[in-house]
Amino acid sequence: MLICSLSIFGIVALIAYELVARSQLTIHKFGLQFFFKQAWDPVNGDFGALPFIYGTLVSSIVALIIAVPLAVGVAVFLTEMCPKFLRGPLAFLTELLAAIPSVVYGLWAVFILVPILREHLNPFLMKTLGWTGLFTGPNYGIGMLAAGVILAIMILPIISSLTREVMTAVPHTQREAVLALGATRWEMIRMGVLRNARIGIVGSIILGLGRALGETIAVTMVIGNRPEIVKSLLGLGYSMSSVIANEFSEASDDLYLSALIEIGLALFIVTIIVNAIARLLVWAVTRGAPPRVA
């Protein structure tokens, strides 16, 4: 049993070691500059990861902007408002959303979501919000926005189920106390529940972010796969995970391979940090830490 649990350490250590060892070439050649360069030129051996970092960050942020309000809304509805007979089936449905493999999300996005975006949502956004500069340029359908939307659908169940868990952990006396002061139901939820659960909710959002950063297949299928930095969300982009998925098997020389593995290493480190922060926050709330009232 001890060996089994130590093997978990072993696995994580091996992953880290392999990633570091195989990316030595680019680490030595480019140093930190690797993460701030825009060039991605396999032919001339010039590599910079900035477009991919940009694509990953922007698509994840778009996903969070869409998913967070919805997820918290669902959690509030399911824990505080929903009639009992609906609670079970609805919770099950949202959990089912988490069980769908990412390749199926990708398939759905390519054939259903992208046409909807291209025909309906994008023209609307270009007309109403075109002046911000975020929704301009050619309307491909695929691109950053499509990636953000499909990521949002994928991280929703994670955020909402954890938020639900944190909200149910808030003691009932808190709710009763606020209600006894004459609060409406919404005020009770806002003051009694959300305020006490907010650290846990932030934790669950960060956990969702961790998932969004590392998501590969669905994003690769819709983000457009062009290593450029475009301000418009309708433009084509590229993410860290999808460049690995697309180009890893064609990477012919060692430097190219090493550049891709270094991107993988960066992704590994970032997701570890993000997940660690999130876990600590969620634990702090669900493990019976005294609720903080501000």
Positions 21 through 40 that interact with other proteins (CB under 8 A)? 21-22
The binder of other proteins chosen from 132, 184, 253, 254 (CB under 8 A)? 184
Residue pointed to by tokens 């139901």? 185
The binder of other proteins chosen from 39, 65, 112, 129 (CB under 8 A)? 112
The answer to the question of residue 215 lying near other proteins (CB under 8 A) is yes
Q: Which is nearer to other proteins, 232 or 241 (CB)?
A: 241
Instruction: Find the shortest distance in angstroms from Cβ 176 to other proteins.
Output: 18
User: How far are the Cα atoms of 44, 55, 179, 229 from residue 32, in angstroms, in the given order?
Assistant: 19, 19, 55, 19
C-alpha 211/C-alpha 275 separation (Å) is 9
Contact at 8 Å (CB) between 217 and 102?
yes
The binder of other proteins chosen from 2, 32, 180, 294 (CB under 8 A)? 2
Instruction: Find the shortest distance in angstroms from Cβ 186 to other proteins.
Output: 4
Instruction: Find the shortest distance in angstroms from Cβ 290 to other proteins.
Output: 21
C-alpha 39/C-alpha 29 separation (Å) is 14
Q: Which is nearer to other proteins, 136 or 247 (CB)?
A: 247
Positions 85 through 104 that interact with other proteins (CB under 8 A)? 90, 92-97, 99-104
The answer to the question of residue 204 lying near other proteins (CB under 8 A) is no
C-beta atoms surrounding 175 within 10 Å = 19
Instruction: Find the shortest distance in angstroms from Cβ 136 to other proteins.
Output: 26
Q: Which is nearer to other proteins, 94 or 232 (CB)?
A: 94
Nearest to 263, CA basis, from 9, 14, 105, 27:
27
Pattern of binders to other proteins over 226-245, x per CB under 8 A? ---------------x--xx
Instruction: Find the shortest distance in angstroms from Cβ 45 to other proteins.
Output: 20
Per-residue DSSP letters for 151-209? HHHHHHHHHHHHHHHHHHHS-HHHHHHHHHTT--HHHIIIIIIIHHHHHHHHHHHHHHH
Contact at 8 Å (CB) between 74 and 94?
yes
The answer to the question of residue 106 lying near other proteins (CB under 8 A) is yes
The answer to the question of residue 158 lying near other proteins (CB under 8 A) is no
C-alpha 292/C-alpha 285 separation (Å) is 10
Positions 248 through 287 that interact with other proteins (CB under 8 A)? 248-249, 260-261, 264, 267-268, 271-272, 274-276, 279
Positions 125 through 144 that interact with other proteins (CB under 8 A)? none
Instruction: Pull the structure tokens for residue 103.
Output: 């390749």
C-alpha 190/C-alpha 76 separation (Å) is 10
Instruction: Find the shortest distance in angstroms from Cβ 34 to other proteins.
Output: 17
Q: Which is nearer to other proteins, 39 or 273 (CB)?
A: 273
Three-state DSSP state, 228 = coil
